[in-house]
Amino acid sequence: MVNIITIYKLLLHGLLKLVGMTQRTIEIEPGTILNIWVPKKTTKKHAVVLLHPFGFDGILTWQFQVLALAKTYEVYVPDFLFFGSSVTDRPDRTASFQAECMAKGLRKLGVEKCTLVGVSYGGMVGFKMAEMYPDLVESMVVTCSVMGLTESVSNAALERIGYESWVDFLLPKTADALKVQFDIACYKLPTLPAFVYKHILE
């Protein structure tokens, strides 16, 4: 059976090109490549950078916001390292490393100032970017996030959602476990057929 998420992404990519977006890869350093959706033409419009949560890549997370904002702003939608098509051979897994790579990628694209919009993990990386690069981050919009994930915050959150570790919650191994993750993470998620969860997991 053909994976419907793969087909949907092809259609979405075509739609994004119609609204003036294009996909770029930026080499941050040898072995570290950032995948990012950018405006086809740069203008004097304000730059808005959309930072995704743990899970989907940037464009699947922010597709509707990109379609709504692309005419008014210069919209940038990166995939964090280890998500989508962004990769690195470095062992670093910290929010600081993600922030460093996002900032370097934006600088290589000529972005001097921006508004960051982050949800969950994207908010954590956004806070780190604002701390490390205050000249780049002009303002922020953050939801469902914390400035830093301390052990006490982490333990309280895990207890609230009924999991023993973030690995169990964030890296589901079955379509049923993925559905539970979506039910916890999403407000009033519409009912989806079981095969959709299987295709997402693939």
Contact between 142 and 118 under an 8 Å Cβ cutoff? The reply is yes
188: helix, coil or strand? coil
Query: Which amino acid, residue 173?
Result: K
State pLDDT tens for residues 55-113: 889 999 999 999 999 999 999 999 999 999 999 999 999 999 999 999 999 999 999 99
pLDDT digits (tens, 9 = 90+) for 13-63: 999 999 999 999 999 999 999 999 999 998 889 999 999 998 889 999 999
One DSSP character per residue, 35-46 reads: EEEEESS--SSP
Name the token pair of 147.
Answer: 């400035």
CA 163 remoteness from chain centre = 23
Residue type, 120: S
The CA–CA distances, whole Å, from 59 to 53, 62, 201 equal 11, 5, 17
CATH no. of 4-149: 3.40.50.1820
Q: What are phi and psi of 37, to 5 degrees?
A: -90, 130
d(CA 122, CA 107): 18
The type of residue at 96 is S
- The residues of the chain that CATH labels 3.40.50.1820 are 4-149
pTM of the model: 0.92
* Sign for the pseudo-dihedral over CA of 83, 57, 181, 173: negative
